[in-house]
Structures are given as structure tokens and as C-alpha cells.
Structure 1
């Protein structure tokens, strides 16, 4: 009886699932993926069907699964092959997740699949040769992964494929011609892959259904094939950033459907082909940064172009008058050519011009008054030409303007009153012209003005009081004019002011007394004016001032003692009426020229107060006595030092028995272990730590290497660097050798070889002349690290770590990322170093590996690592984020000024309470502020308390590239191109961005 009741009891106690077979497959897929955001939380096995689940779409009638869309769900794990068990599945999108490992070959069993999007994931290995076996596939997007190797020959057999996108992978070999066999293709995008140098296959001209062809940065060489002219349905052609040469083929004028042609950054020669007027749908033409020459064809300018970019070529002649008739033209960039003549006087009258850049040409005549006729003009860049006449009064009403650069021309007359007060202009450059008249009071309306450059003109009159209302003004360069009167009192209200240069004018009166508001002022040049009175003592409190020139004025009184507290690179108070005693710090020979021409000034320097010669002679007697005493002490100390050094040398020689050393090399060597051993003496030590010493060894061929000498035994705990407690040195040696011996990457330090003996072991690395980032950044030499250099270091180090995390199989976690482990070569290129505590991540890719002890350094250790001892790539990303914050702030990761906080907490707190200006290193030029803020945000993202919110290292590289696009145009693609006249510093001629 009991046996009979058991099935009934089981049915009452154990719940049964009515989920369909397709739902059961999806449940297995759910359990195979890491889902930290619980994106699949509603995939409930108690449902009858999966049709209501997130990302699942079913047929309305039959309720079979048709589509799986899990885009941007933060899922991780290998590709779920069980999806191919769904017999009616036509659509799969796993875009922007962390799908890893390789793409399985059995994907070809998804017979009904039409759309496959696996872009922006972590897939590696070769492209599956079985993908063309999917008979119904029309859309294939594998963008932004790490696929490597060549494109399989089988890819020429796709039957219905319309879209093929393989952008941003690691594909090599030359561009294959068999892609021309996929006659159904409408879009082919292979951009940003490191293909072997090769030509554009002429066979691509067979793709007569093609609408989009993107081959940007594919390492293409040779000429553009004439066969591309057969693509009569093409709307977008992008062959930019390659090494294509020869002329632009005339056959491209047969692309009657084309809307956009991008050929920039190649080596194309000749002129634009005749017959461009046939391209009636063309809206954008970008052939900039080539070697094109000749005139700009008039028939090109008869088209209804929206954007024309032909900058950095050698075009000559005049600008066709017909270009002014283009009704849709909003972008015109022709800078750095040899164009001359006058501009069409109706330019802008019929078109909504937004950006015009004609800089560095030979244009002459007047500026057209119609440029802003449609009220859309934002950027007007015309520096380095020969424009003459007055600035049109109509431009004073162009409220949309944001950047104006008219410097280095022959403009004359007064600036329109409204031009001074345009509300959105942040850069106004009128330098090196013949402009005259006063600075108008309307400048009070320039609420967004940051940079005002009016040097080398004939401006006169006093500087208006209203200048103090321009709260965002950071740079004011008005030198070499005829400005007169006193500096307005409220000029000290400009709290953002970093540079004030008004030398060579006719200014008079006294210097402002209340200068404490100039907290960001780093350059003050008022030389060669008629200023009088005393130097305000408050000038000594300007903590970031490093350039002070008040020479050639009528200043009187004493030199303020507070000036001794400043760190000035340029200091000149010569040719004034200063008097009294010179502050003691300035009584040095290096400051003598800073005070010449002040007859009443006394100090122990030649040319200052000669009547004190007798007192000086007495001082010399005492100085000689001190020298003799000091020499005796030095002699005694030297003898003692030599004795101990000799004993150390003998001991070291006894320790190194050359016959007992074993050499293991990882590269082809041009030296032996004996040459290394001969140079391991104390004179060559360049660093030391708990694990041993580092020597610089100059080889017989003149090259240098760095040698790390590791002694057996346990590492002592370090006060400044919290290395892994109880870590045995032999383990560190093995980790370093196992890791660096296999790695080949330009941003990972190269390990040449290792030498082992019974008592110690040697690691021989490439020598880094500029030492470590930490030592350089936090020393008196930090001035060598301007922002472009710091940005380059961050990007190089990110590339190295990205290689470890995404391109090494299995992945490697460094575990001790810090600025002291980022070494710098002679060009400040960065290399990630010191792999003594590196670990290999679990090959399954799931979860994090638990460590028995903490490895890392104070201030760099991720919060979760410190209390869980679980390590994965996210721990390195946190540490790298701290390095980014170091680069931005110039501060140590742990500093007494932070109190109980570390650098990450200090940055967050300071941002909330005081703003970003109190976080950025004051040594950095303010013109980079926008880019620095972008990189700061990346650092904060990397140091998020929750590991799941930190981006992958590959994503960090992309974010840095995007942040640097504006200043470094080669990094970006379409949005990254800027004029080289984008203002970057306060020099008269600007600098190339």
C-alpha cells in the first residue's frame, strides 16, 4: 500500500514545470552565463512559455521563439550554442556584452538564422569558416571583438548576406579578393583592422548592389581601382587613413548615387577629377590630408554640397565663385593649401554656413559681410592669410559664433562694437593685424569668453572696467598695442585668469592691491609700460605664478619679501626705481639680471650697491676658513667611505662565481651573462627595494640594460608598498619569468633573459631612460610631464593592460598596477613592468580567483580585493584608475594632506565641495582643461566601488582614444578631424593640435 502511495505523494510535494522545450533550452543558457545585473531575472521556469521573458520575441500565432535580443545586458561567458536548438530562431543580438572565448563551429546548425549581431564583445580566435553555411543569413556584425587571423576563403560563398561588418578586430593577411563574390552585399565594413599592406581588390567592383563601402585604416596601399566606378548604387565610400597613392580615378564620377566620399589621410596626388558635376547627390567630400594639387573645379562647387573638406593639400588658384551658390553648404574646410584671391562676396548668403576654416592660405581682400546671413555660423577660422579692410559690422550681430580666429592678417579699422560682446564666443583672436580703436565696453556681454588674443595691433585707450565682468576669462594677451591708463581695479575679479600679458603698451598708474582672487594666475607680464607705485605684497601669495615680468616700468619701494615663497621660472624686475635691501633668497648670482637698473637696490651681487665691498671682503675671509674646515671633514669621510666600499666590493666578488650561473634567454642576445656580472657593482645601482637591487649595465656595444638582482629568502614588508605578505622571492621570480618570457607587446617591458645561481637570480630588462612614472610625476622633474605627455602615458599603459586582459590566453591579471610599475622610455613611451605578483585568470572566464594574501600597493588596491581576496581584471582596472587620477592631479595615491582618505576619496570629496579646478594639477596648461576633465571622468569610472560598474580594459582604451580625439585627430574617424588651428596655447601663432 505504501509503495502505491509514493508516486501520489511525490506529485503533491514536488512541483512540476509546464515550460516548453524552447524555454528549457533558454533556462540552460541562463545558467551558463554570468548575469551580475540580473537582466535575466524574469526568465522563470514556472512560466508556460518564454514569450514574455526579457529579450525574447515569439510568433503571435504559434508561440515559437523567433528572436533573442539581449543587447547591453552586461552578460558574460561563452557563446550559448544551445540557441541553435531553437528551430525557428531568425534573430540573435548579443551586442555590447562580455561574450568571450571563441565562436563555436557548430553555429552553422542555426539554419533559420537571418540576423546575427555579436558586436562589442570579447570573442577571440579565428572567424569560423562554417558561417557561410547559414543559408538564410543576411546580416552579420562582429565589430569590436578580438578575432584574429585571416578572413576564411569560405566567406566568398555567402548566399544571401547583405551586411558584413568586421570593424575593430585583429584580422591580418591582405584584403581578400573573394569578397567580390558576395553579390548580395549592400554594406561592407572592414575598417580598423591591421591587415597586411595590400591593394584594394579590383573584384570589389563586382558588388553592384553595394551601398556602403568602409575600408578605413585597413593598411591599404597602391591606387584606387577604376572598377569601383561600377558601384552605381553606392551612397557612402570611405577609404580614409590608408596609404593609397596616385590620382583619384575619373571613374568615381560615375557613382551617381553617392552622398558621401571620404578619402582623407592618404597620399593621393593630382587634382580632383573632371566631371564631378555628375555627382548630383554628393553632400560631403573629404579629401583632406593628401597631396592633391591644382585648382578646385568650378563644377564641384556647383553641387549642393553640405560639407567640403580639402584641407592640408596643395590646391592653388582662387576659390570658385559658384561655391557661394551651394544652398546646403554648412561646412567648408580648405586650410593649409595655396589658395589665393578674394572670397565670393555672397559666401554664406544662400547657405547655412556653420564652420568655415580657410587658415594658412593666401586669400586677400575683405571678409564677406554675408558669412552669417543665415545666423548659423559657429566657427570662423581665417588666420595666416592676407585679408584686409574692416571686420564687417554684420558679424557683430552673429550671436551663434563660438570660435573666431582672424589673427595674422592685414585687417584694419575699429572692431565692431557688438563683436566684443558676442555671448557664446569662447575664443576671440585678432592678433597681429592693424586694428585700432578701444576695447568696447560691450565686452561685458561676452559671458562665455575664455581666451582674448589682441596682441600686435594698434588698439588704444584704457582697458574698460567691464573687463572684470567677463568671469570665464582665462587668457588675456594684449601686448604690443597702445593701451593706456591704469589697469581697472575689478580686473582682480577674474578668478579664472591664468595668463595676463600686456607688455609693450602705455599703461600707467599703480598695480592692483587686492590680487588674492587671482588664484590661477601663472603668467603676469606687464613689462615696458609706465606703471608706478609699489609692488603689492599680495603678489607673493599667488601660489601658481611661475612667470613674472614687471621690468621697464617706474615701480618703486622695496622688493616684497613674500616673493621668495614663489617658484618662478621667469622673474624680471629690472629697470625700475626699486630700493632697499634685497631679500636674502634673491642675493644670488642667478638673480642678478632680474634686478639690474634699480640704482637704490642693495644686495651682495655685482652691480648692486658697490659701497658694501668692504663688508664683502670680511665675508670672504670667513668663507675661506669654512672651506678649509669642510675640506678636512670631506677627506676623513672619504677615507672611511672608500674603506667600506672596498670591503663591500670584495664581498660582492666573492658572492658572484661566474662558473655557477645559468642563462635563459627570451630574445636573441648580443651579450653574455659574464658581461652582465662584471658590471654588478655599487656604482651602477639605480634603485633598490625589499627584494633586491636594480643596476644599470652599459654593454660593450654601447646599449644599456636594467638588471634586477633578487636574493633568496622572503621579502620584508615594505612601509610604502604593501607587497604580498609572506611572498617568497622564488615565487616572484618564477611569476616574472613565466609572464614576461611569453609576452610580446610594445607597452609591456621586454625581458631579455634571466640568470640563476644558488644564492641569487638576475632578471635582465630593456633599460628605460626616464625611470618610472611615479618617480618622475612626484618629483621636481614633474614639469617635464605636460598634458600631451601624460595622456600618451595613460593610453600606452592602458594598451599594455588591455593586451594582458583580452589578448593573452588565458588572461593575465597584473595585481600590482601603480605609477612606479609604469616605466618610461626616452620618448616618454610607457611600459607596464614588475610582474612578480601577476596571476593567470581561470581559463573558464567565470568568477574571480581567490588569493590567500593581498598583493598590491597602498592606495591602489580595489576595495573588494582588500576584503574578499578575490582577483580578476576589475582589480587591475581600479588600480589603473588611480594612476589616471595621479596623472590628472599630480598627487600621491596616499598623502598626509588627505587625512583618513586615499586619492580616490579625496578627488570625489573635492569635486563635490570645491569643483574640478581644485582637483586638476595646477602645473597643467589650462587650454587642455576639457580633455583633462574627460580623462578624469574615465579615472573615476575605473575606480567605481562596484567592480561591475568598471569598464573593461579594452573599453578604457576606447574611452581614452575618444577623449583625445579633439586634440589628436588621428585617433578618431569621422568626428575626429579638426583644423590644425584649433587653439591650444597662448602663443602668438597658436599651435598645431
Structure 2
């Protein structure tokens, strides 16, 4: 017995334990070898509770617990306690130990070989730690009683340990998500006859699935997903007579699905999505009697959906989207099945929608967009009160929508755009209290919009353009305070715009163009704080242009082809708005009115007087502007007190027709400041002559970096300490780093750098302007209600694609190093772009090197950085996971409401204590639970404490697109070229 154990026994005896078994002394030694930051093992101390039997201490189970003298440790359960250090060797001395669970801690170092000699050990779980190196070969020769071996989610390397097949008693073998060398699936594993669970996802498996896999008659769960397996799925898989769950998704499997799977009498879940499978779906697959979930999406499957799908008595989740399926669906599909989720999008399925899809009364999501469906929407779907999401756009549907369907009580998304549907929107829509998005553009709907639309408390988007709606815009719509987008373009609406629109405080887009609207433009439109797109063109509006519209921060303004008259407000008289008022001959522009408005002789004197007065005002304003411009130019053109001029060096990265004078003139007005940070100030610059070479019109953002002295040194110190600076830059400062990084990037989800300007120690960066600012400001600044679930998901995808481009498509790859919500900017359509590359670094082929200063921002820094100071792509993945949690919870990454925890720990604790729903943002109450829960899982996977457990950003993009299958179609449609 070691001196430490003797000492511990003596201490225990001195504390009042008359007879204290050696097992407990070994526990004390193990505790002493571990770092326990959360004091989870504090109760393992006889000095604190001498009368309490050690068998009643937490995290322990004993054999014969009633006897303090003969009790022995049977189970040590230390999962998810934040324990750190190497494996505590004294645990190997617990000769009676049957179960050891150290999963999901921060243990590192090699796997202990001594475990293999423990005679009673039956269940060993070391998953979710940082163990590295190869699996000891002693594991293949020991473990006489081992039933469960879980090493998943570590940093193990070397060859996949095929010798574990020698542990003949194994029932569960879990090696998933380790860094094994590319290896085929060992044939020897198929010889473990008692095996029930084989989890080898993400193990870098290559080659074919061996036909001998079918010999595992006791196998319940087979997971080979997320590998590089090739070849066909062997027909012998039909011999897995006990299998319940079969996961083969995200490989490179080819060929046809095997026949004979109807013999799998216990199969409930089969997922072979995201492969390259071809041919037809075998008819007998749907005859597996317990089949509940079938995912075959994103393959190359052809032919019809088999008629046997109508006989699948247990089927509730069928996802076949993005294949090449054709033909009609069986007319009685769903009559015998408890369908809950059906997604057949992005195929060429024709015929009518089966009327029996909701016969079981459980259908929640019906997604059949982008097919060739014809005929009416079945009346039976109008009675399906469980529906939450219906997406049938871009088909050939016709006829009227069932009246009751408009008012389904749980429906939050109804998308019917791009069909030939007709009829009116029924008043029954008043009962659709959860409806958030009503998307019915490009149809033949007619009649008046019902006033009942005003009774929808959650309506965010009403898109009904290109229909034949007539009559007035319902005044009741103005009470819908949640409205964010209203698009009724190209209808036959008439009458005046309703009063009370100032209640639309969340409205970002208003498009009523190409109607027959009359009356004045309501001045209260100028009170809408986030409106950035206003199109009232091609109507019959009269009166003047309200001066209050100058309050808006607009990316699009179109009032052309109306009957407007009077003097334009000064802001709109500039060149950048020259196309916004065409076709209004009664408008006064540039100090002169059209001849028609000056024709009456009786008004000439008045007009002349007004003209003189206006000219005088303009002259005074012009003189003041000239003096201001002169002082600005003078200040920015002097290098020192001697007044010696210096030239600005302009480096352009995109073609643009503006020069330094256009930029410098905006920097003298503090009203143009839209942000201030450690690196400098950001100005909004409205350029008089326009950036005609760009995509964003004549508005740009200008970052004026601090100079080298005074405040600049303070800012540099702040940046080095709080997430902006960073050593290891070879003398490059923020300006040079950002220019070097952004200047060579071309991607739709990376903020565009137009040019840079430098003169001495003065530096300017000119970016595209993002009207909606940063995600952090919008989400946490009281306007988070503008972001519904589809918008938040789209932001996640956009930002993930931007980071994926940096990590995987740049040569060399780029690590951003300061991913946070304030560095994700939003354009007018709430599309996201990654910004602020002042601390970005290229990743060389060499191992990551340590840096001399902190990179990142509080709450976003990956935990391993605190003790390694090493930056990799996985650091960005962690930070992105935190951004996802912000979007899902609505909470900042750190703050008083989280207590002493950061957001990741707060979410983990909340989920464990109260469940998923309690941590989600209350403003997402109408979002589909399945999607938000899966998104939370992706976020927590990204924010895993172990870098090896975090997926690549390329995988994150795939996971996010899979969350909302319809988003993949949009992503493909918007891809165009990837580089812009």
C-alpha cells in the first residue's frame, strides 16, 4: 500500500471511521489527482460528515451498502462535472468496480492501460473528454467482463482499434468522432456476436460496408454516419433482424437501396440521406412493419414514390426532398399512417395532393414545394388542425383554398406562392392566431383583403404581390404591431392609405407599387424606425412628399409615376434620389417647377417670390456648406503644424466612381457617426455623385482608425486586452491586417471592402453600408422582435457560409478570431455578412502557434484558449456556437441575468434543469419546436468544450440547411456564383 493511501486511511480513522475499507482510500487519492473547479466532490471528505457512510456520498454506488466494513465500490458516476487532469490511476485499484463513468469532463492525456485488468468492470464510459493518442492494445486482451465501451468524442488517433473485437462480451462499442486514420470498417467487428450498439460515426471510415455486417443478429443500433464510406449498401443488411436504428447518412454511398428490408421487423429509424444513392426506392422498404422515420433526402433517387408507402402503418416522418422522383403519389397515402412530417420538396412529383395525408389527425408539417402538383388543395387539409407549417409554392395548383385552411389555429407559415390558385382570402383567417407568415404571391387571388387580417397578433409577413386583389387596404392592418414586411405589389387595390400606420414599429419593407391607390402619402410613415424599403410607385397618389420621410434610413425609395406635387424636401432633391420621383410632373425639383404648375398668371408673382426666397436660402446654405467643406479638406490635407500637404494613397478593390473628397467630407460631421470601437469610429457616408460601380448605391461606411498617438495608444491597449489586437502579426497593425485580409476576399457573406485610404498615420477603410447595423445591436437593443425564426435561421446560415468560405475556400485558410454578434452585419433584407477582420490571421500548414495577446471578446472565447493561447478554426466554431445561442435565447453572451455563468454554461444548466423550451427566446414561441431544438443541439455542438467535438464550418452549414429543408432551395437559388 502506498504512503498516500496509508496516510488517507490514517486520516479517515482519525476522523471517526472505525473500519474504513481501502476502496474509499483509493477514492480519496483519485480525488486528489483531479482538478475539481466546481467542487463536485467536496462531500468526499469523512472529516466533514464522519457519521455519514461513504456509500451515501454523491456519485457512488456500493455493493452491500448497509455494512460499512464489507461495503465495496460498485459504481463511480462522475459524468459532466467539469473535472480536469489526467485519468486518476487509483481508480484502477477498485477491484469490485462494475461501472465507471467519467464522460463529458475535461480529462486529457493517454487512455489508462490499467483499466483492462479490472476484473469486475462491465461498463466503461470515457466519452466527451480530451483523451489522446492510440487506444492501448491491452484493451483487446483484457476486460474479461466488459459489456459497454464508450470512447466517443475524444482526440484519439492512430488506426481504428480493430483489436477491440477480441472483447467478446461487448454489447455496446462507441468510438464515434475521434481522429482515427482513414480505415475500413473492420471485418472483425462483425464477429462480436453479442453486439447491440455499434457507433462509429465520424471515425474517418473509408471503403465499402462489408457484407458480413448482416451477421450481427443482436445489433439494435448501427451508426456509420458522417464518414467517407463508398460503394453500395450491402443486401445483407436485411439480416439485421434486431436492428431498430440504422444511420448511414452523410457518406458517399452509391448504387440502389437494397431489396429485402421489409424483413427488418423491428426497424423504426432509417437514415441514408446526403449520399449519392440512385435508382428507385424499393417497394418493400415501406413494408417494414415498425418503420417510423425514413430520411433519404439529398440523393439521386429516381422513379415514383412506391405505392406501398400508403401501407406503412407506423410511418410518421418521411423526408425525400432533393431527389429526382417523378409521378403521382398514391391517392390513399396517409390513410393508414400517423404522418407528422412530410417533405417531398425539390422533385418532379405530379398529380394531385392526396386528400388522406392527415387522416390520422397528426400532420404538423407539409412541405412539397418545387414540384409539378396540379389540381386543388384538398378540402380535408382544411380540417387538419394540427398543421403548423404548409409550404406548397412553385407547383401548378389551382382552384380555391379550402376556407377552413386559412384559419387553422396552430399554423404559423402558409406558403402558396407561384401557383394558379384563385378565390378570396376567407374571413376564417381570424382564427389563425399563430400565423406569422402568409406568402401567397404570384397566384390569381381576387376580391378584397378581409379586415380579419387585423386580428392576427403574430403576423410578421404578408406577401401577396402579383394577384388581383381589389378594394381598399384594410384599416385594421394598422393594429398589427408585429408586421415586419408588407408586399402587395401589382394588384388592383384602391382608396387611400389607412391612417395609424405609425403602429408598424417593426416594419422594414412596404411595397404597394402598381395598384390604384389615391390620396396623400401619410406623413406618419416617417415615424417608422426601421423602415428601409418603401415603394409606392405606379399609383394615383396626390399631394406632396411629406418632409417626415427624411427621418427614414432608406435603402430603396420609389414614389415614381404618381400625381404628386409641390416642393421636394431638401434631402430628396439630391442626385441619389433622382430616379425616385420620375413621372410626377407637378413636383418641384432643383428650385424650379414644371411649366404646368407655373402656367396660371395669377400665381406668377407668388411663385417668383417663393423662388427668390428659396434661391436666397440655397445661396446661404451653399456658402455654409462650402466653408464647412473647405475647413474639412484643410484639416484632412495638412500633415503637421507647418501645413505641409500630403497626398492620400487610395487602394481600390472594386470599381467605384468616387474619390477621397467624397469620403473626407463626411468625417467632419459627428451626426454621421454610426459606431465607435477600440479601433476607431465608423461613419455613414452619403456620396453625392454615387458609387456607380457598386451594388449598394451611393451610401458607404467609412472606418476612421485611431492614429498612433494619444487616444490611439489607449485604444490599442484596449484592443490588446479585450479582443482586437494580438501579437504574432509581424508588426502589422489593425489597418494592414484588415486590408490584407478583406482585400482578397470575394464572397456574398463577407462585407465588401471598396477601398482603403492612407496618409501618414491616418487610415480609412471604405466598406459597403449595411442599413440594419450589427446583429448584436438589433437582437439585444430592443428590436429583437423583428427577427422571427426564419430570419434568425437565415442569419445563422449566412454567417456560417461566410466563415466556411474563410476556413475552407481561402488559400491559406483564414481564422477570423473575433466572431461575435457585433461583427455580423445585416443588410436591408436582414441578410448577414461577416465583418471586422482586424485580428484575422491566415492559417499556415504548420501547427497553430501561440500568440502573445488575447484574441476574441468576452463570452465568445473558446475555453482551450485560456490555457493554450492557440488559435485554430475550431476557435471560430466555438464563437459561432455562442452567436447561435444568442439568436436562440435572445440573451447576450455574458451579463448579470446569467449570474456567474457564461451563455454556454447557462444554456446547458437550463436545459438540464428545466428543459429546452425554458431557455429559448420567448419571441420564438411560434417557431417549430423540432427546428429550434435541433438548432440548439447544433449550437451546443459548436460550443463544445473539446475542439475535437466541434464540427467544421462546412459541416455546420449542412446541418443548418438540414434544419429547414426549404432553406437549401433558397441557398441554391441565391448561390449564382459563390464569389461576387
8 Å Cα contact 2:513/2:539 also seen in 1: yes
Residue-by-residue CA offset, 1:859-916 (whole Å, 9 max, x unaligned): 9699xxxxxxxx999xx99x98999699869999999xx9xxxxx99xx9xxxxxxx9
- Relative contact order higher in (CA < 8 Å, ≥ 6 apart): 2
How far does residue 221 in structure 1 lie from its aligned partner after superposition? Answer: 2.0
1:414 aligns with 2:400: yes
Between 299-308 and 514-523, the greater mean CA deviation after superposition? 299-308
8 Å Cα contact 2:942/2:951 also seen in 1: no
Cα separation, partners in 2 of 1:54 and 1:404, compared to 1, 3 Å: same
Report the Cα distance in structure 1 between the residues aligned to 2:239 and 2:581, rounded to whole angstroms: 73
1:333 aligns with 2:331: no
SS at match of 1:534: coil
8 Å Cα contact 1:315/1:338 also seen in 2: yes
Q: Which residue number in structure 1 is paired with residue 132 of structure 2?
A: 148
How far does residue 210 in structure 1 lie from its aligned partner after superposition? Answer: 1.0
Q: Which residue number in structure 1 is paired with residue 301 of structure 2?
A: 315
Q: Which residue number in structure 1 is paired with residue 51 of structure 2?
A: 47
How far does residue 796 in structure 1 lie from its aligned partner after superposition? Answer: 12
8 Å Cα contact 1:177/1:203 also seen in 2: yes
Q: Which residue number in structure 2 is paired with residue 550 of structure 1?
A: 536
How far does residue 798 in structure 1 lie from its aligned partner after superposition? Answer: 13
Cα separation, partners in 2 of 1:238 and 1:28, compared to 1, 3 Å: closer
How far does residue 297 in structure 1 lie from its aligned partner after superposition? Answer: 0.9
1:119 aligns with 2:123: no
Q: Which residue number in structure 2 is paired with residue 133 of structure 1?
A: 117
How far does residue 154 in structure 1 lie from its aligned partner after superposition? Answer: 2.1
Cα separation, partners in 2 of 1:587 and 1:931, compared to 1, 3 Å: farther
Q: Which residue number in structure 1 is paired with residue 728 of structure 2?
A: 751
Q: Following superposition of structure 1 onto structure 2, how do residues 84-95 of structure 1 map, counting pairs within 5 Å?
A: 88-95=72-79
Q: Which residue number in structure 1 is paired with residue 183 of structure 2?
A: 198
Cα separation, partners in 2 of 1:881 and 1:827, compared to 1, 3 Å: closer
How far does residue 984 in structure 1 lie from its aligned partner after superposition? Answer: 10
Cα separation, partners in 2 of 1:330 and 1:791, compared to 1, 3 Å: closer
Q: Following superposition of structure 1 onto structure 2, how do residues 619-698 of structure 1 map, counting pairs within 5 Å?
A: 641=639
1:527 aligns with 2:513: yes
1:769 aligns with 2:746: no
8 Å Cα contact 2:352/2:375 also seen in 1: yes
How far does residue 155 in structure 1 lie from its aligned partner after superposition? Answer: 2.1
Q: Which residue number in structure 2 is paired with residue 446 of structure 1?
A: 432
8 Å Cα contact 2:172/2:196 also seen in 1: yes
Report the Cα distance in structure 2 between the residues aligned to 1:748 and 1:275, rounded to whole angstroms: 61
8 Å Cα contact 2:26/2:90 also seen in 1: no
1:471 aligns with 2:468: no
Q: Which residue number in structure 2 is paired with residue 284 of structure 1?
A: 269
Report the Cα distance in structure 1 between the residues aligned to 2:571 and 2:561, rounded to whole angstroms: 20
Q: Which residue number in structure 1 is paired with residue 93 of structure 2?
A: 109
> Structure 1: which 5+ residue stretches go unaligned?
1-13, 67-86, 650-687, 693-707, 725-731, 741-746, 800-813, 835-854, 863-870, 899-903, 909-915, 942-950
8 Å Cα contact 1:778/1:891 also seen in 2: no
Residue-by-residue CA offset, 1:764-795 (whole Å, 9 max, x unaligned): 9995438999x999995475866679758999
How far does residue 428 in structure 1 lie from its aligned partner after superposition? Answer: 0.5
SS at match of 1:508: strand
Residue-by-residue CA offset, 1:444-465 (whole Å, 9 max, x unaligned): 0001100101111111110111
Q: Which residue number in structure 1 is paired with residue 254 of structure 2?
A: 269
Report the Cα distance in structure 1 between the residues aligned to 2:295 and 2:880, rounded to whole angstroms: 38
Report the Cα distance in structure 1 between the residues aligned to 2:154 and 2:495, rounded to whole angstroms: 65
How far does residue 546 in structure 1 lie from its aligned partner after superposition? Answer: 0.5
Q: 1:372 aligns with which of 320, 343, 358?
A: 358
How far does residue 93 in structure 1 lie from its aligned partner after superposition? Answer: 1.1
Q: Following superposition of structure 1 onto structure 2, how do residues 889-908 of structure 1 map, counting pairs within 5 Å?
A: none
SS at match of 1:251: helix
8 Å Cα contact 2:931/2:964 also seen in 1: no
Residue-by-residue CA offset, 1:507-533 (whole Å, 9 max, x unaligned): 011101111211100000000001100
8 Å Cα contact 1:19/1:49 also seen in 2: no
Q: 2:195 aligns with which of 190, 210, 216?
A: 210
Cα separation, partners in 2 of 1:301 and 1:361, compared to 1, 3 Å: same
Report the Cα distance in structure 2 between the residues aligned to 1:306 and 1:892, rounded to whole angstroms: 39
Q: Which residue number in structure 1 is paired with residue 567 of structure 2?
A: 581
Residue-by-residue CA offset, 1:459-500 (whole Å, 9 max, x unaligned): 111011111011100011001111111011110111111000
8 Å Cα contact 2:147/2:170 also seen in 1: yes
Report the Cα distance in structure 2 between the residues aligned to 1:620 and 1:565, rounded to whole angstroms: 21
How far does residue 49 in structure 1 lie from its aligned partner after superposition? Answer: 3.5
8 Å Cα contact 1:796/1:831 also seen in 2: no
> Structure 2: which 5+ residue stretches go unaligned?
1-12, 599-606, 648-675, 681-704, 752-763, 776-791, 805-816, 826-831, 842-852, 861-865, 897-901, 907-916
8 Å Cα contact 1:105/1:129 also seen in 2: no
Q: Which residue number in structure 1 is paired with residue 495 of structure 2?
A: 509
How far does residue 243 in structure 1 lie from its aligned partner after superposition? Answer: 1.7
Q: Which residue number in structure 2 is paired with residue 167 of structure 1?
A: 152
Residue-by-residue CA offset, 1:803-831 (whole Å, 9 max, x unaligned): xxxxxxxxxxx9x99999999x9975979
SS at match of 2:257: coil
SS at match of 2:86: coil
CA RMSD, Structure 1 to Structure 2 (Å): 5.8
8 Å Cα contact 1:721/1:858 also seen in 2: no
Report the Cα distance in structure 2 between the residues aligned to 1:146 and 1:130, rounded to whole angstroms: 18
Cα separation, partners in 2 of 1:582 and 1:530, compared to 1, 3 Å: same
SS at match of 1:348: coil
Q: Which residue number in structure 1 is paired with residue 286 of structure 2?
A: 301
How far does residue 36 in structure 1 lie from its aligned partner after superposition? Answer: 4.8
Report the Cα distance in structure 1 between the residues aligned to 2:177 and 2:640, rounded to whole angstroms: 61
Between 159-168 and 517-526, the greater mean CA deviation after superposition? 159-168
Q: Which residue number in structure 2 is paired with residue 489 of structure 1?
A: 475
Q: Following superposition of structure 1 onto structure 2, how do residues 219-298 of structure 1 map, counting pairs within 5 Å?
A: 219-298=204-283
Cα separation, partners in 2 of 1:365 and 1:545, compared to 1, 3 Å: same
Report the Cα distance in structure 2 between the residues aligned to 1:978 and 1:885, rounded to whole angstroms: 13
Report the Cα distance in structure 2 between the residues aligned to 1:581 and 1:763, rounded to whole angstroms: 47
Q: Following superposition of structure 1 onto structure 2, how do residues 702-741 of structure 1 map, counting pairs within 5 Å?
A: none
8 Å Cα contact 2:314/2:338 also seen in 1: yes
Cα separation, partners in 2 of 1:776 and 1:62, compared to 1, 3 Å: farther
Report the Cα distance in structure 2 between the residues aligned to 1:455 and 1:92, rounded to whole angstroms: 61
8 Å Cα contact 1:296/1:319 also seen in 2: yes
Between 434-443 and 624-633, the greater mean CA deviation after superposition? 624-633
8 Å Cα contact 1:272/1:296 also seen in 2: yes
8 Å Cα contact 2:938/2:956 also seen in 1: no
Report the Cα distance in structure 2 between the residues aligned to 1:577 and 1:929, rounded to whole angstroms: 49
Cα separation, partners in 2 of 1:331 and 1:202, compared to 1, 3 Å: same
8 Å Cα contact 1:722/1:856 also seen in 2: no
SS at match of 1:376: coil
Report the Cα distance in structure 2 between the residues aligned to 1:820 and 1:969, rounded to whole angstroms: 20
SS at match of 1:461: strand
Q: 1:459 aligns with which of 431, 445, 466?
A: 445
Q: Following superposition of structure 1 onto structure 2, how do residues 935-974 of structure 1 map, counting pairs within 5 Å?
A: 954-955=944-945, 970-971=958-959
Report the Cα distance in structure 2 between the residues aligned to 1:412 and 1:402, rounded to whole angstroms: 22
8 Å Cα contact 1:777/1:785 also seen in 2: no
Between 268-277 and 378-387, the greater mean CA deviation after superposition? 268-277
Q: Which residue number in structure 2 is paired with residue 654 of structure 1?
A: none
8 Å Cα contact 1:188/1:214 also seen in 2: yes
Aligned length: 800
8 Å Cα contact 1:116/1:139 also seen in 2: yes
How far does residue 178 in structure 1 lie from its aligned partner after superposition? Answer: 1.6
How far does residue 48 in structure 1 lie from its aligned partner after superposition? Answer: 6.7
Report the Cα distance in structure 1 between the residues aligned to 2:928 and 2:970, rounded to whole angstroms: 9
Q: Which residue number in structure 1 is paired with residue 333 of structure 2?
A: 347
